[in-house]
Structure 1
Amino acid sequence: MSDLDRRSLLRGVAAAAGGVALGGPFLGFVNRDAASAARPRRPLVDDVADLRDGQVRLHVPAGFRYRSFHDTESPITLDDGTALPGRHDGMGAFRGRDGDVVLVRNHEINGPGAAFGPRTPYDPMARGGTTTVHTTRYGEVKRAYTSVNGTMMNCSGGRMPWGSWVTCEETVNGPDVGPDFTNVSNIPLTQPHGYVFEVPVKGEASGEPLTAAGRFTHEAVAWDPHSGYLYLTEDSFEFPSGFFRYKPRRDPMRLGHLDNKGRLQMLAVRKRPNIHLEGEQRRGATYDVKWVDIDDPAPRFPYTPGETAPTSNDDATVYVPRQGWEQGAAYFSRLEGAVYDDGVIYFTSTQGGGEPETEIGPHPTGGYGNGSGQIWAYYPKHEVLRVVYQSPGPDTLDFPDNVTTSPRGTLVVCEDNTNDNYLRGLTRHGDLFDIALNRLTSSTGTTRYNDEFAGSTFSPDGRTLFVNIQASAGMTFAIWGDWRGIGV
């Protein structure tokens, strides 16, 4: 970064800290005093019925409408015979025919078991994957089918501008790794997991992992068309998480897909080795960064088929990030959602912003991180990292997870906590406000207010927000209304 650029950015940050919104290519959001709680731009109303069946499942702004679909509280069979699994998670929206929308949707399912769907699975004993749904912008499903299967813990991912979805495995399970937190044996698995997979909207997915992009607890990805890097978040619950980037050897905008011959790197802060960024940050905190190489991104551990692997899940989890830590890579807390917008990569740190950790792990109960959440911005052109929002407590923003941007640049943030879960909006001027509130009730009358939102994504025309409920009885919502009128 040149001295002129650095001075310009720091002036913008200083002005932002004072609450003054300045223009410019690297200001992003203004990080105002985070002590004020989120409020709806338009009051959320409690009597708007789901157009699917007349039940009230969400509180939304006055004048908005919504429809749910693919509710797996009851069995659903897709057009190709797939018994639709639950755990709807990350999702991307693409342009379909005649104004329709094509959704590619993750299913975050853990544990060995028979793969769903009729496609040839990557691992016949892994139960996760993606389904593809063709729908109107009002959530009326036309057809749906399996697009990738035989994967595990498909958490989030990212939409690629050449017409594909990258789905991410949030696990390092495999026959070569011991049991994870569920204490279920991995012996039945036939393939290592912990990779990303590309799912084209048109044509068939290869079903093969992008191993060069690393084997770790992946969460989300975002593509920067200018630098040519794929940015990747890691959601390691017990240990520090890292922020990574992958540079394919060939340009996917020309090739039409990501190649598997690139280089994986991990973020470090210049002159601050192993800085604890999971701790509380000063308002507008800004860091110059560098990137360190990961020389062994896709390890396979020794094991005897049919026997418990000698490599523990903890050791496998930290194998890739430890290569970065040994070179000074930064510590974050549970990096989850990521999205590219106007030259900036935004990503969430779900438990960041509290007292910094003194040990790098494991933290098996509360997880690594003591805060209610942070939102970070990375500026690839200038290799600068900045905190743009830090929650002062769970009543304001509680555990930010998946994230997307509206056509006007507002961040839409999914909450994942154990109380009421909201969809929140965060404007470029640092204003946090409510978009929707989960008010699900099961068929037996049990409230499901703590089921998390996930997979927020706008239709290509920006008129409909699609979002999932990530639960065993998952479902997808289409929400529409006057987005501009509420500042989204």
Structure 2
Amino acid sequence: MERRSFLARGAVVTGAALTATAGPFQGLVAAHADTARTGRGGPRPGPGFGALAPTPDRTDGQVRLHLPKGFAYRSLGVAGEPMSDGVPTPSRHDGMAAFRGQRGGTVLIRNHEVPGVAPAFGNPSDAYDPSCGGGTTTLTLDRRGNLVDQRVSINGTMMNCSGGPMPWGSWVTCEEAVDGPDVVPAFPGQDNSKLTRKHGYIFEVPLYGRARREPIRNAGRFQHESVAFDPVSGAVFLTEDNFVAPCGFYRYVPPVHPLRAGRLLDGGRLQMLAVRGRPNAPLQLGQPRGATYEVDWVDITDPDPAHAPGTSWFTASSAVANQGIARGAALFSRLEGSTYRHGTVYFCSTQGGAAAPGDELPPVPFPRFGEGRGQVWAYDILRRRLRLVYESPHSQVLDLPDNIAVSPNGTLILCEDGDGDNYLRGLTQKGEIFDISRMVTPAGDADAEFAGATFSPDGDTLFVNMQSVIGRTFAISGPWDRC
């Protein structure tokens, strides 16, 4: 069952707010009033951009995206097409990063968020768990953007949602799952007894060659979504996407600085963010204008808990977060994409914020944690200061932001994961929300969404995925220097 289909079926924080300080996105207002100036899908041009218009895919002439004038795109790495190693391209394209390749080319490492129990793509003898259909593929493009190689880089993992690039030349991929032979699945019809390994970890995937298939267990077993690396401290910041319970914002401190080790080592310390002086601060709720908080970090004593056979998914999915909450950690709703820039980690709370009257999320048959249309947060690593960058006032303005990227000029790029039409939105440092692209929903796949936005090393191309049954990667060119 697709996550959004499952979701579709179914007090203001005070006291700890602090005076804001100067910096990128400083002074943006929560629920910015002037961003709701048009209806959904109406022209909302960004800085120098015009209204969106149907734009044919240069690969085959089909209209899959609406873009401003001056932008063009083409598809590559389409699900089902044979890769260079003979393996059919997996579906459900998700998080992704672009790296500088050889001779001016680009290397993309791309997640495939295949859920549940399914045969591993590629060679099952190479798989972490042959009963899981998730993993990553690596695409090599030449200096002109032509796809010259595509192959499996890790297989046999589950629900590879997002992750994060590492500056030594690797991608850390995240399992948004806690399934295993010890856990009873959340959804009927899935047989976890077929699984051979525990899931819910992060894995490092090198730029070239195959991954080691060794989970970083001390970085936690939970619904991992994304990671962001701080090259100064060597810490890795992690988000958690649990749609039924409070989520945490974590940091993993490896035993050796990764820039010295040349890779991410297991055996470090996992911690969870807490608002100083306010235990269990409910940050999933609507925030006051310019909300800023000083924070501390609380230790997670058992990051890889052993579950007794027959443990329910709902219990297992909260086992790590509940340790932090018991020590006063802050509460978020569905933390998803994250990105690092100049000492700050930006991350999305997909269902955070206050619900606008008449714009409530659809009812669901379980307790849902978070009723808003999305928040964007910024964590200043040096100052240990958390700040609300933006809170959606209405789904017509921003609807459930998921993956996030940052342009060379500092504009945040937000991938929506809402119902109906999904957009790529831009959020400028002046607080302007604007439309970059609208996806034409594929026939028969209403759950399709944007995912994995990432800029090429030269900043001239935005790569982004259509997460769909027939997933594909778009390479979008245009005047990105104005973004």
**Considering the TM-score relative to the shorter chain, is it more than 0.5?**
yes
**Which secondary structure state, in structure 2, belongs to the residue aligned with residue 98 of structure 1?**
helix
Farther off after superposition, 221-230 or 149-158: 221-230
Task: Select the residue among 51, 56, 62 that pairs with 2:69.
Answer: 62
Aligned-partner residue type, residue 270 of structure 1 = R
Provide the rounded CA distance (Å) in 2 between the counterparts of 1:116 and 1:139.
26
- Is 1:261 matched up with 2:258? no
Residue 28 of structure 1 and its aligned partner are, at CA, apart by 3.5
Partner of 2:341: 341
- Is 1:286 matched up with 2:283? no
Residue 111 of structure 1 and its aligned partner are, at CA, apart by 1.4
**Which secondary structure state, in structure 2, belongs to the residue aligned with residue 77 of structure 1?**
coil
Q: 2:20, 2:290 within 8 Å by CA — same for their partners in 1?
A: no
Provide the rounded CA distance (Å) in 1 between the counterparts of 2:301 and 2:177.
20
Q: 1:29, 1:427 within 8 Å by CA — same for their partners in 2?
A: no
Provide the rounded CA distance (Å) in 1 between the counterparts of 2:178 and 2:99.
29
Q: Once the two structures are superposed, what CA deviation does each residue of 1:127-178 show, in whole Å capped at 9, x if it has no partner? A: 1000000124665311100000110000000011111000000010000100
Distance change (3 Å), C-alpha of 1:389 and 1:78: same
Provide the rounded CA distance (Å) in 2 between the counterparts of 1:138 and 1:353.
43
Provide the rounded CA distance (Å) in 1 between the counterparts of 2:188 and 2:256.
39
TM-score w.r.t. length of structure 1: 0.88
Q: CA RMSD in A?
A: 1.9
- Is 1:34 matched up with 2:11? no
Task: Select the residue among 93, 97, 112 that pairs with 1:92.
Answer: 97
Provide the rounded CA distance (Å) in 1 between the counterparts of 2:143 and 2:472.
16
Distance change (3 Å), C-alpha of 1:210 and 1:139: same
Percent pairwise identity = 52
Residue 182 of structure 1 and its aligned partner are, at CA, apart by 4.9
Provide the rounded CA distance (Å) in 1 between the counterparts of 2:101 and 2:24.
34
- Is 1:207 matched up with 2:205? no
Partner of 2:87: 82
Partner of 2:391: 390
Q: 1:12, 1:27 within 8 Å by CA — same for their partners in 2?
A: no
Give unpaired runs (5+ residues) of structure 1.
Answer: 1-8, 14-23, 304-309, 357-362
Give unpaired runs (5+ residues) of structure 2.
Answer: 1-16, 38-43, 357-363
Partner of 1:458: 455
Distance change (3 Å), C-alpha of 1:84 and 1:279: same
Provide the rounded CA distance (Å) in 2 between the counterparts of 1:164 and 1:182.
36
> What is the aligned length?
449
Q: 2:20, 2:27 within 8 Å by CA — same for their partners in 1?
A: no
Q: How is 1:199-278 mapped onto 2 (pairs within 5 angstroms)?
A: 199-278=205-284
Q: Once the two structures are superposed, what CA deviation does each residue of 1:253-285 show, in whole Å capped at 9, x if it has no partner? A: 121100001000001111111111000000110
Provide the rounded CA distance (Å) in 1 between the counterparts of 2:71 and 2:460.
11
Task: Select the residue among 425, 443, 465 that pairs with 1:468.
Answer: 465
Partner of 2:10: none
Residue 124 of structure 1 and its aligned partner are, at CA, apart by 1.1
Provide the rounded CA distance (Å) in 1 between the counterparts of 2:436 and 2:97.
19
Q: Once the two structures are superposed, what CA deviation does each residue of 1:398-452 show, in whole Å capped at 9, x if it has no partner? A: 000000111111110000011110001111111111111101444xxx5x57521
**Which secondary structure state, in structure 2, belongs to the residue aligned with residue 57 of structure 1?**
strand
Partner of 2:8: none
Q: 1:349, 1:376 within 8 Å by CA — same for their partners in 2?
A: yes
- Is 1:320 matched up with 2:317? no
Residue 375 of structure 1 and its aligned partner are, at CA, apart by 0.2
- Is 1:179 matched up with 2:185? yes
Task: Select the residue among 195, 202, 213 that pairs with 1:196.
Answer: 202
Q: 1:138, 1:479 within 8 Å by CA — same for their partners in 2?
A: no
Aligned-partner residue type, residue 392 of structure 2 = S
Residue 77 of structure 1 and its aligned partner are, at CA, apart by 1.3
Residue 286 of structure 1 and its aligned partner are, at CA, apart by 0.7
Partner of 1:102: 107
TM-score w.r.t. length of structure 2: 0.89
Provide the rounded CA distance (Å) in 2 between the counterparts of 1:435 and 1:136.
26
Partner of 1:371: 372
